Amino acid sequence: MSSSDEAIIATWVVRLDCKCPSCNEQVNLLDDVDFWDDRKLALCEHGTNRSKGVDVTCPKCGHDFEVELEY
């Protein structure tokens, strides 16, 4: 038994990794600060129409391309 009543916090870490076709870097698409702007997408969504052909921007080089989301 713990002697403290303080809750231990566990933090979800969500990443959306892919290889950019332009700069060939492995990037986390969520590093693009505009990723969630006007986007209706659930966390970890995949296999749905709106998780296919998703327009993304490479956070490293700024290249725009489309991805299909998998989990």
Sites of contact with Zn ion (CB under 5 A)? 20, 22-23, 58, 60-61, 63
- Whether 33 contacts 60, CB under 8 Å: no
- The tokens describing 36, both together, are 């969630």
Residue 27 or 69 having the CB closest to Zn ion: 27
Residue 22 or 48 having the CB closest to Zn ion: 22
How far apart CA 50 and CA 56 sit, in angstroms, is: 13
Q: Give the shortest CB-14-to-Zn ion separation in angstroms.
A: 20
Q: Give the shortest CB-32-to-Zn ion separation in angstroms.
A: 10
Q: Give the shortest CB-34-to-Zn ion separation in angstroms.
A: 15
Residue 57 or 69 having the CB closest to Zn ion: 57
